[in-house]
Amino acid sequence: MKQGLSLRVSQHLALTPQLQQSIRLLQLSTLELSQEVEQMLDENPFLELSEEAATREEFGVEHIDTPVSQDNREFEFATDSIAAGPIETSATSQNDSDTTPEISSEAKLEESWEGDGTVETTPDDGEWGGDAPARKNNADDSDTDAADLVRGHESLQDHLHRQSLSLRLSGLDRAALHFLIESLNDDGYLEDTLTVLATSLAGEDALQVEELVEHFGVALKLLHHMEPAGVGARNLAECLGLQLLDCKDCVETRAAMAMCRQPMELLAKRDIRRLSQLCGFPDTVIKGAIGVIGRLDPKPGRRFVNVERNLVVPDVLVTKSGRGFKVTLNGDVMPRLKVHDIYANALKQHNGRGGGQGGPALQQRLQEARWFIKNIQQRFDTILRVSTAIVERQKSFFSHGELAMRPLVLREIADELGLHESTISRVTTAKYMSTPFGTFELKYFFGSALGTETGGNASSTAVRALIRQFVASESTAKPLSDNQISQMLKEQGIECARRTVAKYREALRIAPANLRRAL
């Protein structure tokens, strides 16, 4: 084998750090961008907040004027609002979770309760549904701060502990009730049996397990009489039965109680004939009992779950302007940033006198601050350009609603603006537009095309809107099937198969026809 040397010339694309930062900022949501700005302000001393927008010429960014087509001169595009608003910061609250200490015997069970004497509650528990005045946002007295809503949350355990304080119980029964409350899941169910819970405390001691089961049985009966009704149930049938105890005593309620003792599959399928045979009630009574059960809550603890509250702030505002629409950026979500003049001038003078060992590092931080401002400005410019193109393509939607939505794919906007399709995908992800019909994500305006009898195309978004209208106007006694909806769409000139209708119906969270039928 002979060895030799050879030269090869090749080209490859390298992403500079500035380009990587630009791509990353482009795909961030409004909240993530706010967090990124806060982090950069903490790390880079050359970056500071400003009351005025940073000039584009200082950082080599040209002002972008989006051209208006000759056929749509009524559209007004405003790009002078770049960085016109303060940074919107989001306060996060930490929820302190109470942990149940390990208990190995009955004595430790009582000791764990008597050590506190009271149940800890958050300072804002009294405001949940009470008469306490609502706290206001510092910026606007008419708006409630989102962080206050999170801090004012009361959990299911706190709600039950509050009720238990009014009960006269022995130390062991109170400790057992406390333990059962802490063992509930988010839905309000007690997943483990009383024997399993007692074994987890007493271990292999059979006598202690038996005694703990007795105390847990007393506590469970008390728990079943607390609000919300149905809490502490071991299964769905027991949860529904506990709620039926609070209903008015009538033949439908008694039939519903009998139905809860039957397999739940029959109730889910609404097998009226089978339920009538097993429960011994006529079909009319069974239908009324199903209506009673339909008004119950199968998950009584869900209302107390502290779900994450995400406030959607639009990035783009679309308003009516004469015969057309005006597309502008939301100044409230755009940070006001600039380079710190004092530090920048000090570094310039320092470098003029010869500098030192720290000069290149500080110069790099200054350049990073300038690139960060430039990339943010470029991010909002791109969002505005894409939003403008969407409004121009979907102007029928802004005039007549979602039924007038046109088919649109990312490739069309990319070709029009001279951008890559992946760039359009990043821009339209987690970015929102405020329209006269509500606030929508930019991806909402993109939809596939369905063929029509005239040879044209209909947007899938418009088809879903038609399906929603058909279902809303249907007869509750005879709801429309997927095949009937497909035929109705065909009468409108839209070719849509039954399986496609089923897919759109499930996306709209519309139940099948047999579950929409009113009894």
Non-local CB neighbours of 397 within 8 Å, separated by 6+ positions: 404, 405, 406, 435, 437, 445
Q: Give the DSSP per-residue string, 423-466.
A: HHHHHTSS-EEEETTEEEEGGGG-B-EEEBTTS-EEEHHHHHHH
What is residue 317's three-state secondary structure?
A: strand
Residue 458 sits at φ, ψ, to 5 deg, of: -120, 140
Q: Of 194, 163, 189, 192, which Cα lies nearest the Cα of 176?
A: 194
User: Nearest 5°: CA angle at 34, between 31 and 36?
Assistant: 110
User: Quick count: other Cβ atoms within 10 Å of Cβ 172?
Assistant: 19
User: How much is the pLDDT for 329?
Assistant: 92
Burial class from Cβ neighbours inside 10 Å (0-12, 13-18, 19+) for residue 389 reads buried
Q: Of 254, 241, 225, which Cα lies nearest the Cα of 297?
A: 241
User: Quick count: other Cβ atoms within 10 Å of Cβ 15?
Assistant: 10
User: Quick count: other Cβ atoms within 10 Å of Cβ 356?
Assistant: 10
Q: Beta strands of 367-407 (E only): which ranges?
A: none
User: How much is the pLDDT for 363?
Assistant: 83
Residue 401 sits at φ, ψ, to 5 deg, of: 105, -175
* pTM score of the predicted model: 0.57
Residue 93 sits at φ, ψ, to 5 deg, of: -110, 145
User: Quick count: other Cβ atoms within 10 Å of Cβ 514?
Assistant: 10
User: How much is the pLDDT for 59?
Assistant: 38
The DSSP bridge pattern shows strands 432-435 and 324-329 to be unpaired
What is residue 70's three-state secondary structure?
A: helix
Contact 336, 41 (CB under 8 A): no
User: How much is the pLDDT for 157?
Assistant: 86
**For 353-433, where are the alpha helices, taking DSSP H only?**
359-393, 395-400, 410-417, 421-427
User: How much is the pLDDT for 19?
Assistant: 84
User: How much is the pLDDT for 66?
Assistant: 38
User: Quick count: other Cβ atoms within 10 Å of Cβ 320?
Assistant: 11
Over its length of 519 residues, how does the chain's per-residue pLDDT go in tens digits?
Answer: 788 888 888 887 777 888 888 888 888 888 888 889 999 889 888 888 876 655 553 433 333 333 334 343 333 333 333 333 333 333 333 344 343 334 344 444 444 444 443 333 333 333 333 333 333 333 344 344 444 544 556 788 888 888 888 888 888 888 888 988 998 888 889 888 888 888 888 877 888 888 888 888 888 999 898 888 888 888 898 999 899 888 888 898 989 899 888 888 888 878 888 888 888 898 888 888 888 888 888 888 888 876 555 678 899 999 988 888 899 999 888 888 888 877 778 777 777 665 555 578 888 888 888 899 999 999 999 999 999 999 999 988 888 888 888 889 999 999 999 999 999 999 998 899 999 888 999 999 998 878 776 667 788 888 888 999 899 888 888 889 999 999 998 888 888 889 999 999 998 889 888 777 764
User: How much is the pLDDT for 403?
Assistant: 85
**What's the whole-number average pLDDT of the chain?**
77
d(Cα 23, Cα 426) in Å, to the nearest integer?
8
Q: Of 155, 42, 36, which Cα lies nearest the Cα of 90?
A: 36
User: How much is the pLDDT for 127?
Assistant: 30
